[in-house]
Structure 1
Amino acid sequence: MDKIAVLGAGSWGTALAMVLADNGHAVTLWGKRTEQINEINEYHTNKRFLPEIGLPTTIKATTNLEDALDGANSILLVVPTKAIREVCQKLNTILNRPVTIIHASKGIEPNTSKRISELIEEEISEANRDAIVVLSGPSHAEEVALRHPTTVTVASKNMEEARKVQDLFNNQYFRVYTNEDIVGVEIGGALKNIIALAAGITDGLGYGDNAKAALITRGLAEIIRLGKAIGANTQTFAGLTGMGDLIVTCTSVHSRNWRAGNLLGQGKSLDEVLENMGMVVEGVRTTQAAYHMANEIGVEMPIVNELYAVLFEGKDPKNAVDSLMSRGKRHETESVTNFISDLAE
């Protein structure tokens, strides 16, 4: 049995805590809201994020970060991207031994274009971490909490640690694969939220399945281009953290990014959408980060560019779709030839 501190008591953090508890591990769930933590401890529910779900009684919750970390072998970070640096800085002041740092957040820091594992490396000293492992894949928290069959990937530069994390989570309903491509796994998990926002917009505009299929397919081409430019293995994008995560996030009402895009397509402003959601919509920040990253390194990302214009420059969503449809004529395989040849290797 391992002792694991799960930092972040939202829907995904709670669902992953349930998986770990089901596997017999000692789990302490950390969050900032006293009322929420009391509810988890007293009633074994987290109704704001996972209504009608009963939590394993073995999950303990706390608002005290030091208590959460006490004796933990591993730390699972499931906080919003904007909170990663702050939480890691606090961890670095409390930890006095190396532990495995697992993160299951999906995003990129806008001002630096850094992936989450890079932020962790910057803020937590080597003396306080054995390895950094990423957990990602097509996995709605609501379905994991119902113990529906789910498959994800864990990636790390240290494959021995990746296999240990695989063993922590793997069970009959939660299947875990390993991958050494930490760049590709993080980029796929982050950028699919952008395409899900765009897919939601087309649904909000009433454009139907044809437009959504086009966005998913062309969105994958953009993810591949950016990922390859920064050193990802393109084969990763054919897997769970690329194509798999893209499909589930663009087609499900569970996806908060899709829901946010849907409201934008119906004519709501970004401020109205974010207020209505009541939860973090990672795709908004990630759009900002990917837009600047692509421009800096010269990667063509038309969907990202148009979504950036909608979110941050006030462009009408319908006009953004029209701009995409009126782009210059291209040969379809120009952007995917290298991807296909990589898969054939």
Structure 2
Amino acid sequence: MSVVSIIGAGSWGTSLSVLLSNNGHQVRVWSRFQEEVDLLNREREHKEKLPGVKVPETVVFTSDLKACLEGHDFVVIVLPSQTVRENARLLAPYLSPNDIVVLCSKGIEEESGKRLSQVVLEEAPGVRVVALYGPSHAEEVAIGIPTTVVAACPDQDAAMKVQDLFMSPSFRVYTSSDIIGAEIGAALKNIIALCAGISDGLGYGDNSKAALMTRGITEIARLGTAMGANAKTFSGLTGIGDLIVTCTSRHSRNWRAGNLIGKGYTPEEAVASVKMVVEGISATRAVKGLMDRYQISMPICLEAYRILFEGKDCRKAVYDLMTRRKKHEFEDTGW
């Protein structure tokens, strides 16, 4: 049995607390919001985000960070991406070199353009960061629907320990050394999911969504490989797998927000309606900086940026994508 400290009591943090508790581990979950802690300890259910899912009595919710981290074997970060740095700074005094930090937050830091594992390591040098990503909606993991993910880390021992920690008959974990590819896939699929939602909101069909997903994974891989990722990663669970589930699922908050934008909502109105963090919006701003830095062509992501931050009309963005100059599908092959 391991002692696992989960940082973040939202839908994903709560879902993972159920999984890990059912795996026989001692689980503590931290939230900075005392009202949320009191509700979860009393009701044993996150009625707003995971209605109907009962959390085992053995899971402890607390707003005391020191108490949550006492005697931990693993720390799991499940927070909005843009809060990871400030919270990693809070965690740092309680972490030791070689501690394993499991990163479940998906995104890129807006200001720096850094991957979240880089952010954690800057604030807590010496820890081993394992990214746990893949097609895995909290709503389904919490009720034991079969799910597969990847534990990605250059340190094989750390990746395998996380694999053992989470593995269950309903939650299969693969390992990978390519944390760069896993992080880029996890962050950028949210942008493409926003676009898929916009497409559906505009009334377009399956053809349009298939095109967005296929050309979207091309853009994700293009940036990822420029940043040092293995191209094969993007054909796996943290690439095309995560993209499929986020673009097509009723659980996807990014798709829902995009759908509202396609129907005429402003981005701010869409986020307010979804009532959850929409990671694709901050990811779009961060990726605009990265595509400029690496001089990478990412037309879908660029049009998403123009819709979200420059007020461009959605139909005009689609028209501009469809009428770009003619190209070969695969730039590195030809006759």
**TM-score normalised by structure 2 residue count:** 0.97
Q: CA RMSD in A?
A: 1.2
Tell whether 2:185 aligns with 1:197.
no
Q: Following the alignment from structure 1 to structure 2, what is the Cα–Cα distance between the partners of residues 191 and 86? A: 22
Instruction: Find the counterpart in structure 1 of residue 139 from structure 2.
Output: 142
Match of 2:185 in 1: 188
For residues 120 and 80 of structure 1, the distance between their equivalents in structure 2, rounded to whole angstroms, comes to: 13
Distance 1:43 1:315, change over 3 A: same
2:238 is matched with 241
Letter in structure 1 aligned against 2:117: S
How many residues are paired up? 334
SS in 2 for 1:332: coil
Equivalent position amino acid for 2:320 in 1: S
Rounded to whole Å, the distance in 1 between the matches of 2:98 and 2:107 is 25
1:325 partner amino acid: M
Distance apart, 1:281 and its partner CA: 0.5
Aligned 8 A contact 2:260 2:270 in 1: yes
**Alignment correspondent of 1:133:** 130
1:18-72 deviation per Cα after TM superposition (whole angstroms, max 9, x unaligned):
1111100000011122222112212211112101111122111001111100111
1:177 is paired with a residue whose SS is strand
Residue number among 151, 154, 157 corresponding to 1:160 in the alignment = 157
User: Aligned to 1:286, what secondary structure does the other structure show?
Assistant: helix
Q: 1:163-192: per-residue Cα shift (whole Å, max 9, x none)?
A: 000000000000000000000000001100
Q: 3-state SS of the aligned residue for 1:50?
A: coil
Q: Deviations over 1:202-232 (max 9, x none)?
A: 0000001110000000001100100110100
Alpha-carbon separation, structure 2, partners of 1:67 and 1:51: 27
Identity %: 50
Residue 279 of structure 1 corresponds to 276
Secondary structure of 1:101 counterpart: strand
Aligned partner of 1:10 in structure 2 is: 10
Q: Residue 122 of structure 1 aligns with which residue?
A: 122
Q: Indicate the SS of the match to 1:285.
A: helix
**Secondary structure of the structure 2 residue equivalent to 1:133:** strand
Whole-angstrom distance in 2 between the partners of 1:97 and 1:106: 23
Q: Using the alignment, how far apart are the partners of 1:139 and 1:99 within structure 2?
A: 25
Amino acid across the alignment from 1:63 = S
Is structure 2 residue 263 aligned with structure 1 residue 266?
Answer: yes
Shift of 1:95: 3.5
Equivalent AA in structure 2 for residue 330 of structure 1: K
Q: Partners of 2:125 and 2:160 in 1: how far apart? A: 23
- Counterpart code for 1:22: N
Q: Letter of the 1:5 partner, please give it.
A: S
Gaps of 5+ in 1: 339-345
For 1:76, give the aligned amino acid: V
Q: Which amino acid aligns with 1:137?
A: G
1:206 aligned to 200, 203, 216, which one? 203
